[in-house]
Amino acid sequence: RNVLLEKRIDERTTELRVTNEDLKQEVYERRRAESELLTYKRHLEDEVRKQTNKLSTTVDDLKVQVKERERAEKKLLSYQEELRRLASELLVTEEKERRRMATYLHDTISQALAFCKMKLVTLKQEMQEVSSRSPSDSGGADSHRSGDVMPLIQEIDSMVKETIEHAQSLTFELS
């Protein structure tokens, strides 16, 4: 019976040795795997830290760009408002200048032309009166002179009339 017991003890001891060796191998592999995992974990943490820093830098850069863009947009809006104001001011100034020019045309040039026209009409009438008198009244010299001057007076009258019409048209367009 002892032999059988010893045999069983030897078998069991052999089994335990094999199991113990297997366990040692498993512990070794597990420690090696844990060591690799720890290395990977550290590496991964370093990569996460690096990427986080890069993202943080990128976010900071984007914030600066957004602020610069906002400043540029505000400046652009300010310029656009200034441009609108200047355009409005220009329109008002142009309108004032048109009115001033129309007033000048009316008050100065048109009135002077109208006065010239009246003087021409008076001159024309006087010339017609002189030419309608008998040649014996003036000795014939005035009659001859008035005949030469009448076409010239009519041409000047026509030009003054046309100039007055142009001045009136321009005055109307400007006002």
Q: What is the DSSP string of the chain?
A: -HHHHHHHHHHHHHHHHHHHHHHHHHHHHHHHHHHHHHHHHHHHHHHHHHHHHHHHHHHHHHHHHHHHHHHHHHHHHHHHHHHHHHHHHHHHHHHHHHHHHHHHIIIIIIHHHHHHHHHHHHHHHHHHHHHHS-HHHHTTHHHHHHHHHHHHHHHHHHHHHHHHHHHHHHHHHH-
Q: What is the pLDDT of residue 115?
A: 85
Could you report the average pLDDT of every consecutive run of 10 residues in the chain (175 residues)? Answer: 88 95 96 96 97 97 97 97 97 91 81 84 82 60 61 82 82 77
Q: What is the pLDDT of residue 79?
A: 97
The pair of three-digit structure tokens given for residue 11, joined into one six-digit string? 């078998």
Q: What is the pLDDT of residue 137?
A: 55
- pTM, entire model: 0.47
